[in-house]
Amino acid sequence: MLRWLLAFAYPIFLTPLYLDWSRRQTEGQIDKMQAAAFNTPGMAAPVPPLVIGAGVCLLAGYWLLTRLFGVQGWMRAVGVLLGVPIGVTIFAQRQAGRS
């Protein structure tokens, strides 16, 4: 039972937190890009490398934690396939509530 809870709770709780944080980071990057583009030919990446690295660490953390608790591979896949959309839905509902 704890394994199922872990496999589903990690993506459900951490996906909205990651999406909210990465959105703020990306919006800050866009502000920097707009300021840098004025009268200059330079350009910057729209998504900061820190956001990409944090996403990779989030996935690696899920894999490591489920591996540590002995969650089977198919249960990991089901946890991600069901937990991430639920987490994205929670994030979208929070964003709709702020508007």
pLDDT over 70, % of the chain: 90
Letter for the amino acid at 18? Y
Tell me how far CA of residue 82 lies from CA of 12, 39, 57, 98, in angstroms. Answer: 9, 47, 20, 25
Distance CA 58, CA 96 (A): 25
The string of pLDDT tens digits covering residues 21-67 is 999 998 888 777 777 666 665 566 778 889 999 999 999 999 999 99
Domain positions in the chain? 2-98
Looking at residue 41, its pLDDT comes to: 59
Enter the tokens of residue 67.
């591996």
The string of pLDDT tens digits covering residues 63-98 is 999 999 998 889 899 999 999 999 999 999 998 887
